[in-house]
A and B are shown apart, each in its own frame.
Chain A
Amino acid sequence: MASKQHQKTAIPFWRDERTLQLLGQAAFAAVVLFFAYILIQNMVNGLQRQGTTLGLTFLRGTAGFDIAEFSIEYSRSSTYLQAFLVGLLNTLQVSAIGILLSTILGVILGVARLSANVLVRGLAAAYLELMRNLSLLVFLIFWYLAVFLKLPRVAEAVIWPGQIHLTNRGVGLPWGLPTETFETYKLILLAGLVAAAIVAIVLYSIGKRTGKPPLTVLWTLLTFLAVAVVGWFALPAAPLTLDFPSVQGLNMAGGKVVTPEFMALLSGLVLYTAAFIGEVVRAGLQAVSKGQVEAARAIGLTGFQTLRLVVFPQAMRVIVPPLTSQYLNLTKNSSLAIAVGYPDMFYVSNTILNQSGRAVEMIALVMLTYLTFSLVTSAFMNWYNQRTQLVER
């Protein structure tokens, strides 16, 4: 096109391309800053007209509403900040359990996709197709309203062996009730952790020195379990007694009652994310070429050794990056709790926003928190990538 003409005019500037770039960047920065300034100016003006100013001091105000599920002290007279923390902990709780369960289900699905059994393989493939073409929000709503709320009512609770109560108020599970020796037992567990860490470090350095990596993970776990079991029986009385749920009055009492909102959110997220994790696992397993396995067997490794020392480390290198992003997705998707009534961080913040009218502050707070999750995760990713690369070369 007009490239000739372009070159003619461009020649005088050609030598100071750096200045040109600098100018271009300055203009870009100016435009961005200008827009940011206008937007913020508008907001400040708008807020002034409403007679409010920005600030986080309102978080010290009394919340005034109740929250259904809380893991720290909370009542209607607590502050907004405490309410937010309750939501944050709920988000972390559902995410952590969700990540654990969806990994387990995802690995099963990934392996099933590679199964020799046609029926199993087909079932896993059908499951994947079903899940990944569904909208998660619709799935969650359906799951809550059409499955968990259709469980029997409290009065007609279905009781499974072990006093597991199945109702649409939640599932009652037997749960450990701390006795007076529980505090001592906590210390024993702590000691177990320390012992396990020492074992891990020692074994790891042995592996480094000799070039024959021992089963570090296994021995670490065993050490901890041994301390825990010995401690349990060494104490004069068992630190925990089993508490069984039962129907008392209007609701279930005793044991641990898991609400249907939590269950619906958790299982919905797990079922959805597991389909994607299954694909990640399958891709990782398939990425290890057959030649690697054959070579490992040829140099005399056993089947288990091949898996542990050859297939697994290589597959993990492929699996971990997409897997972490799936974990992050699950955490972010937990904000859909609002649709099933589970008080996660976003839902509680929404309530605070409604009651206090502080839209800007609350949305900023929520976004910053999610952003922190994401940054921590990507920091971990970078660390992991560097580490695996070092191992490779």
Chain B
Amino acid sequence: MSKKLYSVFGLLIVAALLLAACGGAPAPSGDSSPAAGDTAAPSTGGDDAAPAPAAQTAAQGETLAAVVARGHLICGANNQVPGFGYVDADGNFSGVDVDYCRALAAAIFGDANAVEFRPVTAAERFTALQSGEIDILSRNTTWTLTRDTELGGNFTATTFYDGQGIMAPSAAGFTSLADLAGGSVCVQTGTTTEMNLADAFAAAGISYSPVVFEDADSTFAAYSEGRCDAVTTDKSGLVSRRSVLADPSAHVILDVTLSKEPLGPMVRHGDDQWYDIAQWVVFALIAAEEYGITSANVDQVRATNTDPQINRLLGNEGELGAKLGLDNDWAYNVIALAGNYGEIYDRNLGPDTPTHIPRGLNNLYTNGGILFAPPFN
């Protein structure tokens, strides 16, 4: 009996070692290099000895080349914020941040589905971007100086202007921070929110107790159970979360803004071409709305339009796409496959969605907002 067992275990070990040998491909090459280092062909020692400054701070044009070679875009996304990035029951990602990545994929490949979404936590998002695990970070991330410099990223443009707010049950009758004295506030960690909260209460000289959670779901679950008197996060997050509480009308967002929170996609330092592409896809979305081009009428506009600005945008005229390293109908693809900014907004945050947020600042400058795309010249 034990013989049989032994053979089972023996085979298991052999199989596992084989697997290990196949799986951990880089290991053998590292193993052999000390012995073979000086005599062997550069192929063995090469990958270890390769001079360091190669990737991580991406070289010019490298990201686009890698994305094209791979055949799809890898987008770091959120999966817990309804309206911005979450997973529906069919397992699909949806939300404004997610649709931006689809638009970017459409610009590169002419296919809005040539994108792979990697949910990244607040804690690991910057590491993931730095190490090249994701091509772009589109995960309701606030544009700050530290992140733009020390954390090795570049914010491309603001896709959503936000500010940190506070929500409380309307029955409590709070109107200002002072009303919350001695109360508890639910907040999510790993974010700028946590610091802003501490700053605001310290500045006002009010005592409170924070209740800090690792993820958004726990934070709002605790709030809705009455663990805290109030909950704080970006106002957009408050609105989208309020809409799905048991009784949305029983909660008010106080007229208090703790901070400015411009949210937008972020790329690695060092690859200006990729930065430009990511940036101008945002502008194309905004410009399309400004010119009244939608996914429904884009073909018609392209055929009949006479405005040179629009012609350049849609690739009828000039070589704007080539300047970015893309096809000339990149913006056409973006609009046709992902819609314009307004369409994306309405699809995820519009009046018909459970996560309705009035457009406010996130409207065209012509409609009282601050969205403004530079000219397509």
Contact = CB atoms under 8 A, between A and B. Distances in A.
A328 interface: no
A105 interface: no
A347 B213 CA distance: 10
Nearest to A257: B209
Most buried by A among B31, B57, B180, B194: B194
A250 B214 contact: no
Interface in A294-346: 338-339, 341, 343
Given A66-B210, A149-B222, A351 B184 contact: no
A66 B197 contact: yes
Contact of A359 (B127, B183, B199, B222): B127
B123 A357 contact: no
Contacts of A168: 225-227
A355 B122 CA distance: 11
B151 interface: yes
Contacts of A203: none
B150 A51 contact: yes
B53 interface: yes
B183 A354 contact: no
Contact of A357 (B48, B150, B198, B199): B150
B34 A30 contact: yes
B225 A149 contact: yes
Contacts of B195: 64-65, 355
B114 to A, nearest CB: 30
B212 A68 contact: yes
Contacts of B127: 359
B56 A46 contact: yes
B211 A68 contact: yes
A251 B181 contact: no
A357 B151 contact: yes
Contact of A145 (B201, B212, B218): B218
Residue picked from A68, A354, A357, most chain B C-beta under 10 Å? A354
A338 B34 contact: no
Interface stretch (A31-39, A88-96, A121-129): A31-39
B12 to A, nearest CB: 20
A384 B30 CA distance: 45
Contact count band on A: 35 or more
Given A350-B190, A351-B189, A357-B151, A341 B214 contact: yes
A353 interface: yes
A68 B127 CA distance: 28
Interface in A149-165: 149-150, 153-154
Contact of B229 (A46, A250, A355): A250
Interface string A19-51: 000000000001100110010000001101111
Given A153-B226, A168-B225, A169-B227, A68 B210 contact: yes
A132 interface: no
B187 to A, nearest CB: 9
B226 A250 contact: no
Contacts of B56: 46, 49-50
Interface in A36-83: 38, 45-46, 48-52, 64-68, 75-77
Contacts of A211: none
Contacts of B34: 30-31, 34
B182 interface: yes
B247 to A, nearest CB: 15
B80 to A, nearest CB: 15
Interface string B165-205: 00000000000000011111000011100110111011000
A38 B152 contact: no
A341 B225 contact: no
Interface in B51-97: 52-53, 56-57
Contacts of B48: 38
B244 to A, nearest CB: 17
A31 B35 CA distance: 10
B194 A169 contact: no
B150 A351 contact: no
B161 interface: no
A260 interface: yes
5 contacts: A34-B30, A153-B226, A261-B211, A341-B211, A354-B122
Closest 4 CB pairs of A and B: A250-B183, A153-B226, A149-B225, A76-B198
Given A66-B197, A250-B182, A350-B214, 4 more contacts: A68-B209, A77-B202, A168-B227, A341-B214
Interface of A: 30-31, 34-35, 38, 45-46, 48-52, 64-68, 75-77, 145, 149-150, 153-154, 168-169, 248-251, 253, 259-261, 338-339, 341, 343, 347, 350-351, 353-355, 357, 359
